[in-house]
């Protein structure tokens, strides 16, 4: 499996990944302390919306700012917005 490493790893205290529906933890690379450091390449969201958010042309959806992500698709989108090395 090929992983894309996050520019800024996401600590487990920000999101409770056990409560995210349809999330397969094998799609994530998690450090020993629970920090998400990478996701599988095929789960990354490379849509024009993600690119526009990174460039500042669109706003991040409110649910992603408040940490109310409850499904795998939105979680992968959030991680993709964070960016990869």
pLDDT in tens, 33-85: 989 999 999 999 999 999 999 999 999 888 777 667 888 999 999 999 988 98
Angle at CA 26, nearest 5°, toward 40 and 55?
Answer: 30
User: What gap in Å lies between CA 46 and CA 34, rounded to an integer?
Assistant: 25
Sheet holding 36-40, edge to edge: 3-10, 36-40, 28-30
User: What gap in Å lies between CA 26 and CA 28, rounded to an integer?
Assistant: 5
Which pLDDT value is given to residue 17? Answer: 80
Question: What residue spans define the domains of the chain?
Answer: 3-82
pTM of the model: 0.87
Which pLDDT value is given to residue 40? Answer: 95
Which pLDDT value is given to residue 29? Answer: 93
pLDDT beyond 90 at 4: yes
User: What gap in Å lies between CA 56 and CA 73, rounded to an integer?
Assistant: 21
């Amino acid at each position: 499996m090929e992983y894309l490493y996050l520019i800024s790893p996401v600590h487990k205290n920000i999101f409770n990944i056990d409560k995210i529906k349809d999330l397969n933890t094998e799609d994530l690379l998690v450090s020993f302390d629970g920090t998400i450091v990478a996701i599988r390449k095929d789960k990354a969201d490379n849509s024009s919306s993600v690119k526009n958010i990174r460039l500042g042309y669109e706003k991040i959806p409110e649910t992603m700012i408040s940490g109310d992500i409850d499904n795998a698709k939105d979680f992968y989108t959030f991680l993709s917005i964070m960016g990869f090395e």
